[in-house]
Every structure is written in C-alpha cells, then in structure tokens.
Amino acid sequence: MTDQKRRAGSRSTGQKKKRKKKKNRFAGAGVILLLLLAAGLTGLWISRGKTAAGDTVVFSEHKDNVPADRSSRKITEGITIGDVDVSGMLSAEAKAALDEDYSGEHQGKVTVHWADQSITAGLERLGVTWGVEDAVEKAVSLGYQGGIIRQYKDQTDLRIGTLHIDLSWHLDRKAVSEFVESDIAWEHDFDSVSAKLSRVDGVFHVEEDTVGRVTDQAATVEAICRAFYERMDTSDIEVNAVVNEVPPMYSAEDMRQVKDILGSMSTTYCEDDDSRTERAVNVEVGTAYIDKTVLWPGRSVSVSDLLRERTEENGYKTGAMMNQGQVEDSVGGGVCQVSTTLYNALLEAELQIDVRYPHSMEVSYVKPSKDAAIATGSKDLVFTNNKEYPIYIEGTTNGYEVSFTIYGKEDRPSNRKVEYISVEDKRIPSYAIEVPDASIPSGTYRSGGGSNHDEVYSHLEKVVYENGQEVSRETLHSDHYAASNETVYVGTGAAAPTDGT
C-alpha cells in the first residue's frame, strides 16, 4: 500500500470517529432533556398552579394530596346539582341535601282520572328516582379525572363559572304497573250485569242491566309513563285512564222480548185430598225448584241439577218410584212426573232436547214415548235454548195438577203448527201370576208384589202443519217399556169355619 493510500485511510477513519462522538453528544443531550422534563412534570404534578383570576388549583389525583376514599373527597367549588349548590360537600352530604330537596311534595303527584273518579298518589308510589347517586358521583369526579392537563382545565373552568349537573328522572315501569293494577283496576273495575227477569202475579218485571267498565291496564301504564317523561319540571301530572266498556250479555231490552207463550203442558198428580201422598209433596217441591228458571240463548241445562239432590234436607219425602221394572219407595219418588211435564212443554216450544230417557215401565200420566225419566247418576233430561232470546220457565202446582209454561219471543210463523203423536208399535198385555198357597184358606187371595204394566213398544212423531196441511213428519225416538206382572197367591187351604156350624 502506498503512503498516499495510508494517509487517505487514516483521514477517513478519523472522520468516522468524529461523527460518532458528535452523535453521542446529541444522544446524551436528549436523555438529559427527557430527565429534566420528567422532573419538571413531576414537580408540576405536586405543585400548585394559578388561574387567570389568581385562584389556587390543587391537582388531586396524587396520592399524597387526594384521599383515596371518594366518600371523604369534597366536591369542587362551583358545582350545582339540580337546584342544590353542592360546592365543598362530601358525597354523603350532597346526597342528603338532594334527597331532602327532591322528596315529598317536591316530587309532585300523579292524578289518574277513571270515568268520573280520580285517583291521586305521590310520584314516589310510581318508583320515581332522580339519579342522585349518579349525579353526586359525577360531581365528586369533576376536577379529578384524566391526566394533569385535563384536571387543570376542569378546575380552571370551575373557577371561572359554575357547572350545573341535571338530575336524570327515572320511572319504575313495574311500580307503575302495580299501581294501575292495585289502586285503579282492582278498586274501580266492575263487571257487566245482565238484566234480570221475574214474573209476579202473571206480570213480567225486568231489572235493568249494568254496563261494566274495565281498565286497559297496559294502555294506562303507557299513558302515565308518557306523561311523566314529557313534563319539563317536577309539577303534578294528570292522566286519563283508558277504560273499556263491557256490555252485558243480555240487556233489559232483550228481556222485554220475553212475553210470548212458546209451549205449555199440565199433568195430574193427585185426584183429591184423600189420594194425596208424600209423592205429591215431591212433585210440588221439584216444580218449585225449576220455577223461575231463565235460560240464555245457546245455554244448556240439566233438569236433574235444577231439581237438586233428592234428599230430605232439600224438602223431598219418601215416595213411590220405578226401579228396574218394579215400583218401590225412595226419597224423591215422583220427580219423574215433574221432568215429564216439563219435557212436553219443551217439545211444544221446539227447544233443543239433548238428552232424554224413557221410564223402565209405562207411566199413567202421559202416553208412551212422551215421558222423561230422572234417576240420579243414570237418567237425566238435558235441553238447550236454541232461540235468539232468553226463555223463562214458569212451574206451578195447585194440589192436583203440575203445569209448566215456556215464555220467550215467538219467531215461528203464525200459520205453522206442530203436533207430537205417540205411536204404539206393539203392546203385550200384563197378567197375574197365580201361585197356590196352602197357608191361606181356599177361595182367598194375597198379593205377592209386582204391578200390572203392559209391555209396550212405541215411538214419538213430530208432525208440522202449515196452513192446516202436513208438511213434515219425523220420528224423534223409539222406546221399549218392560212388562210387570203382579204375583197373586191363591189360597188352597181348608176353608175357614163359619159361625153357627
């Protein structure tokens, strides 16, 4: 290598070393500046500053200057919450001041108008809260949030002017719902009542109906909430409850239509006073239970239910009744004549017969297939009002006859008539069964039980006439009545001695 090249290489190396030393000097200066800035900021962190007005500002986030417990931190000067100046207060003091100012009458009242009545309650009944906790928390934090520049700015702004924090009103919808349900709907709602119909001394009397009123609870709750949030201050609010009218099922005008006789029937249950038995009492008791029955359109009823349980407590006596082809005594015996008489009146009115049973044997007071038996748990008469208006059932007894009359609104053409014809398909006469009995004298007889009832097969026809001409004929039902033959014991023993022989 030549001397010239060595001198050039030496100069290059020297220059590099100079540049490196220079860079190191700049780096050192940068570190020194950062350390000085950090020290300055730290000093600022713990120092006091001055506002333009000369007020002292304390940066309180430093643990040496600020209580760690927020409850012991005082609110910065210049803060109001709602109408209350909370400057310098602890959080507990601020809450107490706000609670006192925003409670009681200051909260206002709610008045709900329900029809012609008014229900008033304090807004606290609706679960009203004013957001006191959140507002105080915000006030306590002002001037202490963020970094030192943010704190300095917030506290400086507070020295220049006053900061106002609004309370955020809140309504508890569940509490409103409970108020509407318990204080309004439960206390003031009432159901509709249909008109009532009675008949006294042959004259109908109508008791007027009542239109019901029921609170629409969901709509009323919505109206209260809307009125609360729309108001601009703590003044009282007034709301009209949403009330729906509930018309009665049947009005007085409906009842006034019940004046026409649709059907009637009478049967004899006692020939005279000498033949009166406890069975007659049962007929009268059962008739009284059915009397005055009102049946709405589309409704069905059980005659066994109308007669009530056949017990002595309900006024029934022990009377003769049929059971499995035999006549025997039982409490309530005779009510079948009540149901049978009613059945024929219902047929004349052309009401819908849903359930009907024949007797086990032929009865004497109506023709075959015109009867309707009642037996607890096994036989019943059930019918439905298939008319457009209510029907009224009148049942009477006079000591000899039982009668039923069905009243309603006649809607059948005047030229139309109906007839119910009992048709005997077959009759097998009963007979006495004679049994020799040596225990009684010859020529004498003793009844051994049973009764004389023919065996009968029959059916019931409904015939419709218009303008006197038959237009239809139908069979409603077919029945079989069992025979009952009386047993007679015929004496075969020795003749009884006669006097003077």
**Higher-confidence position of 8 and 252:** 252
Q: Which residues contact 459 (CB under 8 A, 6 or more apart)?
A: 369, 423, 425, 475, 476, 477, 478, 479
H, E, C per residue of 107-142:
HCEEEEEECCEEEEEEHHHHCCECCHHHHHHHHHHC
Three-state SS sequence of 307-337: HCCCCHHHCCCEEEEEECCEEEEEECCCHHH
What does R_g of the chain's alpha carbons equal in angstroms? 52
Supply the DSSP string of 43-81, one letter for each residue. Answer: HHHTSEEE-TT--EEE-TTSTTTS-SSGGGPPPPTTEEE
| pLDDT value at residue 218 | 97
Instruction: Pick 489 or 403 by higher pLDDT.
Output: 403
In one-letter notation, the amino acid at residue 96 is A
Q: What is the structure's pLDDT at 496?
A: 64
pLDDT in tens, 426-451: 999 988 888 888 888 888 878 777 77
Write the CA distances from 432 to 27, 59, 448, 452, 493, integer angstroms. Answer: 144, 126, 10, 8, 20
Residues 365-385 have a mean pLDDT of: 96
Query: Which is more confidently placed, 81 or 362?
Result: 362
Identify the weakest region by mean pLDDT among 18-27, 223-232, 369-378, 385-394: 18-27
pLDDT at 500 over 70: no
DSSP 3-state of 426:
strand
168 pLDDT higher than 70? yes
Min mean pLDDT across 98-107, 116-125, 341-350 is at 98-107
Lowest mean pLDDT among 46-50, 88-92, 104-108, 249-253: 46-50
* Residue 171 three-state SS: coil
Alpha-carbon distance of 367 to 344, in angstroms, equals 11
Q: Which two tokens stand for residue 441?
A: 């004298």
pLDDT at 375 over 60: yes
- Neighbour-count burial of 21, counting CB atoms closer than 10 A to its CB (0-12 exposed, 13-18 middle, 19+ buried): exposed
In this prediction, residues 24-48 reach a mean pLDDT of: 42
pLDDT one-digit tens code per residue, 263-315: 999 999 987 766 678 899 999 999 999 999 999 999 999 999 999 999 999 99
Query: Contact, 403 vs 395, CB < 8 A?
Result: yes
Strand partners, 355: 382
DSSP β-bridge partners for residue 461: 421, 475
First to last CA, the chain: 198
pLDDT in tens, 307-323: 999 999 999 998 766 66
* pLDDT for 284: 96
Which whole number is the average pLDDT over 367-390? 95
Report the Cα 174 to chain-centroid distance in Å: 21
The alpha carbon torsion through 35, 38, 43, 49 (nearest 10 deg) reads 130
- What pLDDT is attached to residue 87? 86
Percentage of the chain lying above the pLDDT 70 cut: 76
HEC string of 203-269 equals EEEEECCECEEEECHHHHHHHHHHHHHHCCCCCCEEEECCEEEECCCCCHHHHHCCCEEEEEEEEEC
